[in-house]
């Protein structure tokens, strides 16, 4: 019976509520799909069908009028849909579509930025109507209304995002999963629709894509495929594509330390010193960067790993993410809280992030607590530090 209900739900009548003819699958097809075409399982299934017929929710079509005990088809009329699904204790397809319509009418009243409010209302009204016959409803799934509610709530949070940050940082904050937004492209299409083109992409809201390659400087030799590539004694920095990182078959590193650097300006400044340390630009680390870090950590004598980043909530989160995804015990470098009278105040979102990070980052807990106590980001940008006073590690004299 449950399999019959599933088959009906996938029929035109079940999907769209538009079927006028009875749903009439062959008995043998129903029994085969349900896995009860023979033996005792068949007897039990036929007994259940007869019971439903006696309840008046389905009709069984006899093979021949002279043989009323053997059936060729089961017939479920659209007007009996509610009674049939109620008999099974299930939500009917029509009721399910009505729930979806009600969800969009509810979402119509959810708060969104003023500049998107008119488009959002029109979107919700349009989808509420479309849900009743379930046409044009991608990327939603009829049977997953709770997931649909969560998608709509996430969509409103994405619409309120302010500031420019890499997508994995934003995804981690909004979804608790740094790759969710990248792995669900349907949400970006919904964003375009829900804002009537006012925000056609994540990038239009300041949610920026992760660069595809890795940028580094230092005494490194890499075997890419079967050929060795020499990066020692090179001035400036090198950029390696993600495809090349995947093709690395061996690496050699003479540096005592590997310092990942969040921002490009300090990365380039440190690279210009020619210190002999290995420097890797990270921002919110992409797969190519993570791949190179893992290769380095797998060496028989790996370098020490350090990270130099901004000291706002996102800067500490980038370090936490590096540690978690790489599995490397990366130490922080010059990442204490620096107070500043004119500093930007922490948002509620950032306060919540700091509180979550404190449990993950015992070594940086004091800096995080100082930021919370101050209620501001402090003097957090790497670029605000004066230039290095030394050409070698640890680069700063104090």
- For residue 240, give the CATH number of its domain: 3.40.1360.10
Residues 251, 349, single domain; the answer is yes
| 199 and 237 both lie in a single domain | no
Beta strand 227-230 with 257-261 is unpaired
Q: Look at residue 67 and tell me whether its pLDDT is greater than 70.
A: no
Nearest one of 303, 299, 311 to 371, comparing CA atoms:
311
Lowest mean pLDDT among 61-75, 95-109, 221-235, 293-307: 61-75
Q: Note whether 202 and 101 are same-domain residues.
A: yes
Packed helices 365-374 and 313-326: angle between N→C axes, nearest 10 degrees = 150
Distance CA 253, CA 59 (A): 76
Paired sense of beta strands 214-217 and 278-281, if any: antiparallel
* Any domain includes 395: no
pLDDT at 5 over 90: no
Instruction: Quote the crossing angle between the two packed helices 313-326 and 287-297, to the nearest 10°.
Output: 60
pLDDT in the model for residue 187: 94
Q: Are residues 185 and 222 in the same domain?
A: no
**Do 204 and 219 belong to one domain?**
no
Q: Within 13 Å of residue 113, how many CA atoms lie on the same side as its CB?
A: 15
Domain that includes residue 59, residue range: 2-90
Strand partners, 307: 260, 332
Residue pair 262/310 in contact by the 8 Å Cβ criterion: yes
Helix (H, G, I), strand (E, B) or coil at 238: strand
337 and 232 housed in the same domain: yes
Asked if residue 338 is part of any domain, the answer here is yes
What is the Cβ-side half-sphere exposure of residue 258, based on CA atoms within 13 angstroms?
25
Min mean pLDDT across 161-170, 214-223, 284-293 is at 161-170
Residue 392: inside a domain:
no
Query: Does one domain contain both 338 and 239?
Result: yes
Query: Peptide bond preceding 394: is omega within 30 degrees of 0, i.e. cis?
Result: yes
Q: Tell me the C-alpha distance between 376 and 353, whole Å.
A: 13
Same domain for 284 and 362, yes or no, is yes
Q: Can you read off the two tokens belonging to residue 201?
A: 């992409």
Higher per-residue pLDDT: 48 or 270: 270
* Residue where one domain finishes, among candidates 65, 90, 115: 90
Residues 84 and 98 in one domain: no
Q: Number of structural domains, the chain? A: 3
Domain ends where: 53, 72, 90? 90
Give the confidence band of 19 by pLDDT, cuts at 50, 70, 90: low
Same domain for 237 and 379, yes or no, is yes
Residue 235 binned pLDDT confidence (cut-offs 50, 70, 90): confident
- 54 and 69 fall within a common domain: yes
CB proximity list for 85: less than 8 A, separation 6 or greater: 5, 91, 92, 93, 95
Q: Look at residue 325 and tell me if it is in a domain.
A: yes
Residues 254 and 363 in one domain: yes
């Amino acid at each position: 019976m449950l399999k019959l209900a599933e088959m009906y739900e996938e029929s035109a009548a079940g999907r769209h509520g538009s079927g006028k003819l009875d749903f009439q699958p062959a008995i043998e097809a129903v029994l085969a799909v349900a896995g009860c075409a023979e033996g005792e399982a068949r007897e039990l299934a036929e007994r259940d069908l007869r019971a439903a017929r006696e309840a008046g929710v389905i009709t069984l079509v006899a093979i021949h009028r002279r043989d009323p005990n053997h059936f060729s088809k089961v017939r479920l009329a659209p007007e009996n849909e509610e009674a049939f699904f109620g008999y099974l204790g299930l939500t009917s397809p029509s009721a399910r579509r009505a729930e979806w319509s009600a969800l969009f009418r509810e979402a119509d009243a959810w708060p969104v930025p003023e500049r998107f409010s008119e488009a959002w209302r029109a979107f919700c009204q349009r989808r509420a109507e479309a849900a009743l016959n379930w046409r044009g409803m991608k990327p939603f799934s009829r049977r997953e209304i709770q997931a649909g509610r969560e998608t709509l709530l996430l969509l409103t949070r994405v619409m309120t995002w302010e500031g420019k940050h890499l997508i994995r940082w934003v995804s981690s904050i909004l979804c608790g999963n740094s790759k969710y937004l990248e792995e669900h492209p349907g949400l970006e299409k919904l964003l375009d629709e829900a804002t009537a083109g006012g925000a056609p992409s994540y990038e239009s809201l300041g949610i920026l894509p992760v660069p595809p390659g890795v940028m580094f400087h230092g005494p490194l030799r890499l075997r890419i495929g079967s050929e060795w590539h020499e990066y020692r004694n090179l001035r400036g920095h090198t950029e390696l594509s993600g495809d090349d990182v995947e093709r690395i078959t061996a690496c050699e590193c003479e540096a005592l330390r590997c310092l990942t650097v969040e921002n490009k300006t300090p990365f380039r400044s440190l690279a210009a010193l020619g210190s002999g340390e290995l420097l890797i630009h990270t921002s919110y680390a992409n797969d190519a960067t993570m791949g190179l870090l893992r290769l380095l950590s797998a060496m028989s004598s790996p370098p020490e790993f350090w990270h130099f980043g901004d000291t706002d909530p996102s800067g500490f989160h980038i370090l936490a993410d590096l540690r978690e995804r790489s599995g490397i015990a990366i130490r922080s470098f010059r990442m204490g809280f620096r107070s500043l009278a004119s500093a930007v105040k922490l948002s509620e979102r950032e306060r919540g992030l700091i509180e979550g990070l404190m449990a993950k980052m015992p070594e940086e807990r004091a800096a995080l607590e100082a930021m919370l106590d101050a209620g501001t980001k402090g003097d957090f940008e790497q670029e605000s530090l004066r230039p290095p006073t030394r050409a070698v590690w640890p680069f700063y004299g104090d």
